Amino acid sequence: ILNVEQSPQSLHVQEGDSTNFTCSFPSSNFYALHWYRWETAKSPEALFVMTLNGDEKKKGRISATLNTKEGYSYLYIKGSQPEDSATYLCAFYDDYKLSFGAGTTVTVRA
Amino acid sequence: GAGVSQTPSNKVTEKGKYVELRCDPISGHTALYWYRQSLGQGPEFLIYFQGTGAADDSGLPNDRFFAVRPEGSVSTLKIQRTERGDSAVYLCASSLTSAREQFFGPGTRLTVL
């Protein structure tokens, strides 16, 4: 069982503020790290697939960085909006299956 | 185009009953996965299909769980003699091949009373 950890478990952010949170994963046998956003009653939505050490990807106000040597990835939300409220999951790609962290639940207060 | 769909969205059953959960993957996706998310945890892998065959069922918790994909498209996850500990959100995902991005359905929330 792969150990994928996310912190914090939850956080509350004021609208307009920026925030970030962490995913840590095994640094050996790395192939890819996936980030998903999961809103209540909806399908988990793929945000990023990160494969290269030093990778930085951006989608609107959300961006992510990757450090495969030390085994961590950060997800950043700039200028948080209420629609950013969701659970953010990272997943370590292990051959064909994903090993997920428990997620960081973000609540944006208006 | 249509995404991954799952039915039912919610299922409430009594301990000891049999349930079936259905997954309709994206058309043309050969790989299909089932995951289970219990309260407070991330989704956990259950089973992976490549075409019609189960390539890896190592995540199924015990022999009460079984899944099929007879025509290489729709998949059904079957749970016999349900227990309260089976209560969870069951997620299905599909991908074009096993090495590509996985697209998830909205899940089936199973509650065993």
Is pLDDT above 70 for B21? yes
Residue A22 to chain B, least CA–CA distance (Å): 15
pLDDT band at A29 (very low <50, low <70, confident <90, very high): confident
Nearest neighbour of B41 by CB, restricted to A36, A49, A102: A102
Is pLDDT above 90 for A21? yes
CB-CB contact of B105 with B92 (8 Å) = yes
Mean pLDDT computed over every residue of chain B: 95
Is pLDDT above 70 for B1? no
* pLDDT tens per residue, range A35-66: 999 999 899 999 999 999 999 999 999 999 99
Q: In terms of DSSP bridges, do strands B10-13 and B108-112 run parallel, antiparallel, or are they unpaired?
A: parallel
B3 inside 8 A of chain A by CB: yes
Query: DSSP code of B26?
Result: P
DSSP string, A1-22: ----EEE-SEEEEETT--EEEE
**Rounded percentage of chain B residues whose pLDDT exceeds 90:** 92
Tokens of B61: 């918790």
Residue A44 to chain B, least CA–CA distance (Å): 6
* pLDDT tens per residue, range A73-106: 999 999 999 999 999 999 999 888 999 999 999 9
* pLDDT tens per residue, range B69-85: 999 999 999 999 999 99
Is pLDDT above 80 for B6? yes
Radius of gyration for the alpha carbons in chain B, expressed in angstroms and rounded: 13
Of the candidates A2, A1, A9, the one whose C-alpha atom is nearest the C-alpha of residue A102 is A9
| B25-62 per-residue burial string, b: 16 or more CB within 10 A, e: under 16 | bbeebbbbbbbbbeeeebbbbbbbbbeeebebeebbee
pLDDT of residue A96: 87
Residue A66 to chain B, least CA–CA distance (Å): 17
Selected for mutation to probe chain A from B45, B60, B109 (highest A CB count within 10 Å) is: B45
Is pLDDT above 90 for B99? no
CB-CB contact of B82 with B18 (8 Å) = yes
C-alpha B99/C-alpha B46 separation (Å) is: 17
CB-CB contact of B32 with B72 (8 Å) = no
